Amino acid sequence: MTAEDFLPISQAEMLSRDWWWYDFLLVSGDAYVDHPSFGTAIIGRLLEHEGYRVAVLAQPDWHSAEAFRAMGRPRLGVLIGAGNLDSMVAHYTAAKKRRSEDFYSPGKRAGLRPDRATIVYANRAREAFPGCPIVIGGLEASLRRFAHYDYWDDAVRRCILADAGADLLIYGMGEHATREIAARLKRKEPISSITDVRGTAYLTAEPARCAFPALTLPSFEEVRDDKRKYAAATKAEYDEHDPIRGRALLQGHGARTLVVNPPALPLNTAELDAVAEYPYTRRWHPVYAPLGGVPALDEVRFSVTHNRGCFGGCNFCALAFHQGRMVTARSIGSVVREVEAFTKEPDFKGYVSDVGGPTANLRHASCEKQSRCGMCADRNCLAPSPCPNLDADHSDYLKLLRALREIPGVKKVFVRSGLRYDYMLCDPDSPFFAELVRCHVSGQLRVAPEHCVDKVLEAMGKPPIGVYERFLDRYRKLNARYEKEQFAVPYLMSSHPGSTLADAVELAVYLNRRHSQPEQVQDFYPTPGTISTCMYHTGLDPRTMRPIYVPRSYEEKRMQRALLQWRRPELRDTVRAALRRAGRTDLIGWGPDCLLRPERGKPEAQKKPAAADRRGGQDKQNRAGWAKAKPKKNARPGKKGGRRP
């Protein structure tokens, strides 16, 4: 594999192709990886397929405009994205501590992109190419398209367009909008007149020219100063984020108005197949070889994304506000061709690491009326209970997995990313669950109950804990039937809005009764654009406008997290302090539910009972349902377009 197989990343590579000019400069905050899990690769190959000349400027030096000028001025425009993650999430933990590694950079080297990369790159591009059309897109721009609460500033910021100074913003999955904008720029249409493209946003002094039916939101100044108006604006933004029934949204920003056009229609199956089958090299550019390559590729090198969109509706997840809730999927034939290509790779060992996407087991619309009426604005499809109109059907996904298992050279096909267990239970007569356990689990099945207290789960947009218990019961029975020793590994979240210290104690007790020490614990991270982030900022649930408890102090968040990992010796003092604050010193002792043993000389100390009494008949039946795994520190963020479902 040589540099000629990639899009050019330097003037020398362009000249080697006899390019004396080019059409678009594609700027990215990630290293250049030519794989369909990376947005830069998709947009670059799409434009190449449409006949344009595209150059890639990956992780440029942003301290001056010289790196932007190095390949010369593009004929048609500059397209800018921060990368697969929001640049602030890429740089900082939920505790606002600087990360020491960046898996989307060569050799995991941190610091190769700036904070707020989209804004910085757009301003440098404007400096380098005055008058050149500048379009921003990708996850960072998409989730910051409105006035938004910024966790790192602890303030409401303007829409990202206002700070970036770009001409246009593409939000969501940008293939349709990119194709149309490129064609109109090629026809010499001024960028200022391209205001009628779905899935785009722009700033204007003339909002009356909006090309779509529109709804006016509270202005930036209003949502900055009034939390109730911020919450009301968030609800309207989610309600209108629908390609069938959604309206344009207008939001004043000083003398100008932000216009966010309705979302683009999702790609249909044929279009998804075409995008997935562009001639990707599926490798990082050879220039990174001396630096150790780009580690983010390792997770997805031999995995398959077969769908887009998620109607799960988790409030802490950005997927609904980016990819949308309408699910579309690739054809089985397209996925088979992709995996057949894996078998020709010399380093493929026969294992397809994942057949997934935003939610692995969704492959069609949530209900029959969706294509006519759009997604319901007033309820979710799955939580707190399944909609009566829900069409739960795993037959096509099962057919896909069976087809992949039959490919010569494939030894095992795993499903690892985001199974919705509540959706699985809505399809009780399907053989999918049994076949999943028998053929597609790699020893551990990762699922996301997130919590055990129902009021917290309701705030998260998750089903009640009883649904998870029913799933575990079936999972245990199926493992016993097939004589498998496989575990369900739960993802859990601490300090989500609605979770009190008492709720965190209840979760610790729940885990203790099931002999579980969680492998994954994630502090709630208020990332831009989510309903949960709105709750964190305003103290209101925007769906109901009712107040909601928000754990804010560093001390309480530290205690909630420690309670979920109470067995770690270094956390015992924090757990002890949390139990005392919560009035639960009954959990310091020798009983079967106790989390800690008493300290000598402390009031909680009591006579140590006999061994038989200490055991208290603890039930071990859940060992097949919960993994006994060592906890991981600060699991790295982001995989396949978003937060786990």
pLDDT tens digits, 565-577: 999 999 999 999 9
Residue 223 confidence (pLDDT) above 60: yes
Asked if residues 383 and 463 have their Cβ atoms less than 8 Å apart, the reply is yes
- 486-512 mean pLDDT: 95
- pTM for the full predicted model: 0.91
How far apart are the C-alpha atoms of 533 and 525, rounded to whole Å? 8
CB neighbours of residue 425 within 10 Å: 17
pLDDT at 602: 65
Structure-block tokens of residue 126: 């404007």
Residue 384 confidence (pLDDT) above 50: yes
Residue 169 confidence (pLDDT) above 70: yes
pLDDT at 232: 98
Domains of the chain as residue ranges with CATH: 3-204 (3.40.50), 302-440 (3.30.750.210), 443-456+474-524+532-645 (no CATH)
pLDDT at 589: 93
Asked if residues 80 and 118 have their Cβ atoms less than 8 Å apart, the reply is yes
CA-based max dimension of the chain:
86
DSSP strand pairing (444-450 vs 487-494): parallel
615: pLDDT confidence band, cut at 50, 70 and 90?
A: very low
pLDDT at 456: 97
Render pLDDT for 57-79 as a digit per residue (tens, 0 to 9). Answer: 999 999 999 999 999 999 999 99
- 293-316 mean pLDDT: 94
CB neighbours of residue 630 within 10 Å: 10
Angle CA 160–309–443, to nearest 5: 115
- CA neighbor of 96 nearest in space, from 143, 142, 145, 154: 154
Residue 641 confidence (pLDDT) above 50: no
Rg value, the chain, Cα: 25
DSSP codes of every residue in 600-616: TTSTT--PPPPHHHHHT
How far apart are the C-alpha atoms of 397 and 361, rounded to whole Å? 7
pLDDT at 416: 86
609: pLDDT confidence band, cut at 50, 70 and 90?
A: low
Structure-block tokens of residue 107: 């050799």
516: pLDDT confidence band, cut at 50, 70 and 90?
A: confident
610: pLDDT confidence band, cut at 50, 70 and 90?
A: low
Residue 618 confidence (pLDDT) above 80: no
601: pLDDT confidence band, cut at 50, 70 and 90?
A: low
DSSP codes of every residue in 467-488: HHHHHHHHHHHHHHHTT---EE
Residue 611 confidence (pLDDT) above 90: no
- 12-29 mean pLDDT: 96
628: pLDDT confidence band, cut at 50, 70 and 90?
A: very low
3-state helix, strand, coil in the chain (%, to 5): 35, 15, 50
Output the average pLDDT for the chain: 92
- 417-436 mean pLDDT: 93
Structure-block tokens of residue 443: 């020893």
- SS3 label, residue 309: coil
230: pLDDT confidence band, cut at 50, 70 and 90?
A: very high
- 321-330 mean pLDDT: 94
pLDDT at 612: 44
Q: Please give the C-alpha separations between residue 147 and each of 199, 322, 434, 563, in angstroms, as whole numbers.
A: 17, 16, 46, 35
